């Protein structure tokens, strides 16, 4: 009736104005005005009926979604047999972003740390402890920091630190902050707090300039130490600049690496930190037998690489054999990523005298060790063309971005891949993933059913229930990986993370360790699956598995 009251005055105005202009001429135009009003009322009544009919349709739609939700909840009581029968992904498989013909690869290059060398979980505690000692002893941080302990359950690879705001962030494939992936110190921020700091969950270009990616094997101890230091200052109610925290922690981490503290710590107790690996030797020998060229390109010093390789391969190498015989070229202290863009010359390293020669290096001699250098000189000396070279490394930026731009084929070594695939293969995870997809679909349909102004109590109640069930499924999936940040490659919604984006960008293939290539012939053609969205090791569980129960 409110609409009727708004329409009728307009009709009356039309009638009187018409009477004034033409009523005295005997042609009573006002009558047409009255007819128009009656017609308007009739149309309005028809509109009321249509609206009532639309409301009935909306109510029916809500009832249908409610029935589907109730049916889904009943199906959630057991894992469908069809889900159990879904194929499992291979934790030790090679996953391909861009096709590779291994028969065309003639040269294989390797990084050392976390590529050829496999470390135990104890290494992160060593790095963390050495870095915090440096911060206390050299950078004059409070003595209480010496009591900090590395927490392996807190960090994951691929986080970002916001130097401006002091937050550790997990981003999704499109650069948005995960709703439960933002920590200030060790405290998880709410979505409201995230919006207060950033305005939106999406990180814009200007904000992205203040972010630092934590991507290499130091990132676990680095992220944990940053969070612990920030939390200490917050709890102690001390003023501090979050940018300085990052600078100091990063300086301490770099000092631990460049000073050789961590290298000496590992070699002093190799049983505690290094993992023996006969499969690696089999892989390298297989490549040599197939006539492939091999080179080692690492930032670590030679004595550290030599000690580690001897320990890891000592049970498999013959008494007279040396790991150096497996490689055509060994380059240490390469200073990646500058190696790929600089013009530094190579220098021959004397392993007995621990000195560098002054003679120009214009060819690589057998059984010699080389330091420094650059990609330009490397290609000039070896004549190895880009497409025939494949380089293995664990750091997406320092190891793989340069080779990728130079035309080499690249393989990312991500040790976490094995454990994450095993979790994704579990029926429990796939069960929660399917539940999440069903609930997401029902929520989307419910949102599209009713306009904001017409949302009934039944609608609101159903919306709350669906959201609660969806949140439960999200939390269950997240906790299966990491209680703080969830999976490395996935968001809490089962979509790809920003770390997955970088792998897709810089790695032609990725796997958990180089020796996984033993399962493939050197003549194999590796193709990217045609039916994937982003990451080929992900399996999307269809919600139809539950609807057919």
113 catalytic? Reply is yes
Residue 36: how many CB atoms within 10 A of its CB?
14
* 8 A C-beta contact, residue 393 and residue 111: yes
59 catalytic? Reply is no
Q: b/e per residue, 309-337, with b = 16+ CB within 10 A? A: bebbbeebbeeeeebbebbbbbbbbbebb
Task: Give the active site residue among 54, 60, 113, 315.
Answer: 113
Is position 394 annotated in a ligand binding site? Answer: yes
DSSP class of residue 289 equals H
Handedness of CA 84, 90, 91, 95 (dihedral sign): negative
Pairing of strands 293-297, 329-332: parallel
* 8 A C-beta contact, residue 433 and residue 477: yes
The helix or strand, by DSSP H or E, that contains position 177, with its residue range, turns out to be strand 177-184
Task: Give the active site residue among 63, 103, 111, 206.
Answer: 111
Measured between alpha carbons, how far is 124 from 286 in angstroms, rounded to an integer?
32
Instruction: Give the DSSP letter string of 188-215.
Output: EPPHHHHHHHHSSSB--HHHHTTEEEE-
Residues 6+ apart with CB under 8 A from 127: 218, 221, 253, 256, 262
Is position 63 annotated in a ligand binding site? Answer: no
Is position 248 annotated in a ligand binding site? Answer: no
Residue in the structure block whose two tokens are 């454990």: 419
Q: Please tell me whether residue 293 adopts helix, strand or coil conformation.
A: strand
Q: Which residues are catalytic?
A: 111, 113
- Residues tagged in the binding site annotation for GMP: 113
Binding site listing: 111, 113, 394
């Amino acid at each position: 009736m409110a609409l009727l009251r708004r329409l009728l005055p307009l009709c009356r105005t039309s009638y009187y104005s018409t009477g004034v202009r033409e009523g005295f001429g005997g042609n009573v135009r006002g009558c047409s005005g009255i007819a128009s009003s009656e017609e308007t009322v009739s149309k309005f009544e028809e509109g009321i009926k249509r609206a009532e009919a639309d409301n009935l349709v909306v109510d029916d739609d809500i009832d249908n979604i409610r029935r589907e939700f109730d049916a889904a909840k009943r199906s959630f009581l057991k894992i469908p047999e069809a889900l159990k029968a879904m194929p499992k992904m291979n934790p030790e498989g090679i996953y391909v972003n861009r096709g590779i013909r291994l028969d065309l690869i003639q040269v294989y290059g390797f990084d050392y740390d976390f590529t050829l060398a496999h470390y135990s979980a104890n290494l992160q505690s060593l790095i963390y402890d050495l870095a915090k000692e440096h911060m206390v002893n050299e950078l004059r941080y409070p003595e209480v920091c010496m009591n900090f302990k590395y927490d392996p359950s807190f960090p994951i690879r691929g986080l970002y630190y916001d130097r401006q705001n002091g937050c550790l962030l997990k981003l999704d494939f499109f650069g948005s902050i995960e709703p439960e992936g933002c920590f200030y110190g060790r405290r998880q921020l709410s979505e409201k707090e995230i919006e207060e700091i950033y305005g939106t969950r999406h990180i814009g270009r200007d904000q992205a300039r203040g972010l630092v990616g934590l991507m290499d094997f130091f990132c676990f101890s680095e992220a944990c130490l940053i969070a612990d230091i920030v939390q200490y200052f917050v709890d102690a109610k001390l003023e501090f600049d979050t940018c300085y925290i990052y600078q100091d922690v990063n300086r301490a981490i770099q000092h631990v690496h460049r000073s050789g503290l961590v290298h000496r710590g590992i070699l002093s107790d190799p049983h505690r930190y290094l993992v023996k690996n006969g499969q690696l030797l089999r892989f390298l020998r297989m490549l040599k037998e197939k006539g492939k060229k091999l080179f080692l390109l690492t930032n670590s010093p030679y004595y550290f690489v030599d000690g580690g390789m001897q320990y890891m391969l000592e049970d498999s190498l013959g008494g007279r054999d040396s790991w150096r015989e497996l490689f055509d070229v060994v380059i240490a202290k390469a200073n990646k990523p500058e190696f790929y863009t600089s013009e530094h010359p190579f220098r021959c390293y004397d392993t007995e005298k621990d000195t560098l020669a002054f003679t120009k290096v214009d060819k690589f001699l057998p059984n010699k060790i080389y330091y420094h250098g650059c990609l330009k000189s490397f290609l000039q000396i070896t004549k190895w063309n880009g497409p025939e070279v494949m380089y293995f490394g664990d750091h997406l930026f320092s190891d793989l971005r340069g080779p990728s731009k130079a035309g080499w084929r690249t393989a990312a070594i991500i040790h976490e891949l094995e454990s994450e695939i095993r979790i994704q293969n579990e029926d429990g995870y796939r069960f929660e993933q399917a539940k999440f997809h069903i609930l997401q679909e029902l929520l989307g349909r419910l949102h599209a059913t009713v306009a904001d102004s017409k949302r009934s109590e039944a609608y609101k109640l159903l919306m709350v229930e669906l959201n609660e069930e969806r949140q439960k499924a999200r939390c269950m999936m997240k906790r299966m990986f990491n209680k703080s940040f969830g999976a490395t490659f996935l968001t809490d919604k089962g979509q790809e993370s920003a770390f997955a984006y970088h792998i897709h960008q810089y790695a032609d293939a990725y796997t958990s360790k180089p020796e996984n290539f033993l399962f493939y012939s050197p003549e194999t053609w590796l193709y990217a699956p045609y039916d994937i969205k982003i990451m080929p090791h992900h399996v999307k569980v269809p919600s139809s598995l539950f609807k057919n129960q």
